[in-house]
Amino acid sequence: MMNKLFKYVVILVFIGTIAISCQSPEKSQTQKPNIILILGDDIGYSDIGPYGSEIKTPNLDRLADEGIRFSNFYNMSKCEPSRSSLFTGLYEGGKNSVNFAQILKNEGYHTIHSGKEHWMKWAPDHVFAKNIFDQSLTFKAMNEFFEPPSGKFVNPFILNGKEVNVPDIYHEKKPFFKTDALTDNALKWMDEPIDNDKPFFLFLGYGAAHYPLQARPEDIAKYRGKYKKGWDEIRNERMGKLKAEGLISNDTKLSPPSANINKFRGHKKDNEEIRVNIPLYRQWEELEETEKDELDLEMAVYAAMVDRMDQNIGRVLNYLDEKGIADNTIVIYLSDNGSCPYDSNRDFDYPPGVAEGFRSLSAAWANAGNTPFKYFKQYGHEGGAHTHFILRWPQIVKAGQITHQTGHIVDIAPTLLEASKIKYPNKLGEIIPQPLQGNSLIQILEGGERVEPEFFMSGWTDRFRMFRKQDWKIVKLNNEDWELYNLKNDPTEITNLSENNPEKVDELVNAYHIKHAELKAEAEE
């Protein structure tokens, strides 16, 4: 009897030992990581705290302190190509492109899309959020942050494939504010996969700080008066912080102040007296005090929009901590392009900030946002195509790193698939997926050196195209002749070398045309 009892005790102890060994944290080491991908909109390289800004972004600061910052990372310089490359891992896609969220979903991920959705014309219907994500709240291109007085947004919200308005959108704080509401829905939807012990992918596309300039009054008040020092001083201060952080070298030169010189985004013929100075750069000290005050308000609203986005990122990070899942959650933050200089003001009857108004940022403030780089959103020059990039993954990524290796938004899809130990499929339903054109960043994240891709591309269409191989870069300014820069020696593109080095221009132009033709052929197969 005693021998029999002893056997039962041994068996129970053995079973208990197995049960304990299967519990967290050991289990968490083999679980697929949760993924949160946050995309800012029209936010310049130096518009957030970890990259030199005076705008208060303590939660992005925290991500940087606990993760890795890339000093050299590229987007596609405009909303729709950046998002298209982000989700597909392609520079140039076609009917067989796939959204990597679909691959994650097929491998057991719960998928959530809360925010802006904007695709290139080549994107097939099957990549859209309504056809993939378990829950989605989207809007196309841009819309207002407050509910418009008319009740009708420029572009409607789409909730799980159905057009909705504010009364049908879950939001916790009144009045409705888009940045807050997108987080409200994301956090609510994250409960389901966490309760079911299922990995999740959350995309948060806040739409901040794309125009119109609208912000909660309490956020604007934090910054009112802080910008009366002017855009020239702001650029100099940010330049100093970037050098102090080690994000740029001490011998980097600040690019000259630039105006909005994009001929395709000209200024409307009406209100010419008001609009005539909007695209021009003027030294701050030349302005009248009344105009300085108006421009201080404009930038204060923009800063408030970035601040509010950061507050909501903090809500997400706190949620991860409360649920005990931060260690195995990848959190990424970047922007879709540089700051936007275009005069998209609908009227001047209302000041920046309020729900009734529809105002946009002045070119000189956008230029400050892109410090230390040249030009703006849409351009293939660094001011349009060079983005901040922060990634935190406590289980894998050593905290507090800065890497000067180069990455691109097209690399994110292959990176997240490798992080999840998911192979890119040879077939997805009836689709033979177009081969990925990006390359994984995992070697960099693990502290190593990756073989740099053969090339990088950006710029909105061929009129603003940039093509980079190693340190050399060619770029067009609104379909003018190719410019040539050596980014190792001249990261802010001050000296155009094309006239003195036509052979290098020809070499890179030929390489670009060959690669672009190859990419288009892949897209058409």
pLDDT, tens digit, 9 for 90 and up, residues 69-118:
999 999 999 999 999 999 999 999 999 999 999 999 999 999 999 999 99
Q: What residues contact 515, with CB distance under 8 A and at least 6 apart?
A: 454, 455, 457, 467
Burial class (CB in 10 A: 0-12, 13-18, 19+), 77: buried
Q: Is the pLDDT of residue 9 over 50?
A: no
pLDDT at 273: 63
Domains present along the chain, CATH in parentheses: 31-450 (3.40.720.10)
Residue 18 has pLDDT above 50, yes or no: no
pLDDT digits (tens, 9 = 90+) for 405-433: 999 999 999 999 999 999 999 999 999 99
Say if residues 80 and 118 touch (Cβ distance below 8 Å). Answer: yes
Per-residue pLDDT at 227: 98
Residue 321 pLDDT > 70: yes
Question: Which positions ≥6 away from 399 have C-beta within 8 Å?
Answer: 65, 66, 67
**H helix runs in 92-173, sequence order:** 100-106
pLDDT at 221 over 70: yes
Q: Pinpoint the alpha helices (H) of 246-288.
A: 272-275
Over residues 9-21, the mean pLDDT reads: 38
Does position 456 have pLDDT exceeding 70, yes or no?
Answer: yes
User: How crowded is the C-beta side of 419, counted as CA atoms within 13 Å?
Assistant: 34
Helix axes 412-419, 79-88, angle to 10 degrees: 30
pLDDT surpassing 80 at residue 300: yes
Q: Where are the alpha helices (DSSP H) in 22-99?
A: 26-30, 58-66, 79-88
Contacts of residue 407, defined as CB under 8 A and 6 or more positions apart, other chains included, come to 70, 72, 73, 74, 389, 441, 444
CB contact set of 513 (below 8 Å; sequence gap of 6+): none
Peptide bond into 25 cis (omega under 30): yes
Query: What percentage of the chain has pLDDT greater than the value 90?
Result: 87
Confidence band for 270, pLDDT divided at 50, 70 and 90: low
Strands 483-486 and 472-475: antiparallel
pLDDT at 21: 35
Fill in the DSSP letter of residue 398.
Answer: P
Say what the pLDDT of residue 343 is: 83
The whole-number pLDDT of residue 279 equals 64
pLDDT, residue 259, reads 74
Q: How sure is the predictor about 152, in pLDDT bands with cuts at 50, 70 and 90?
A: very high
For range 338-359, the mean pLDDT: 91
Report the pLDDT averaged over residues 516-523.
95
3 state DSSP class of 331: strand
The token duo for 143 is 């819309």
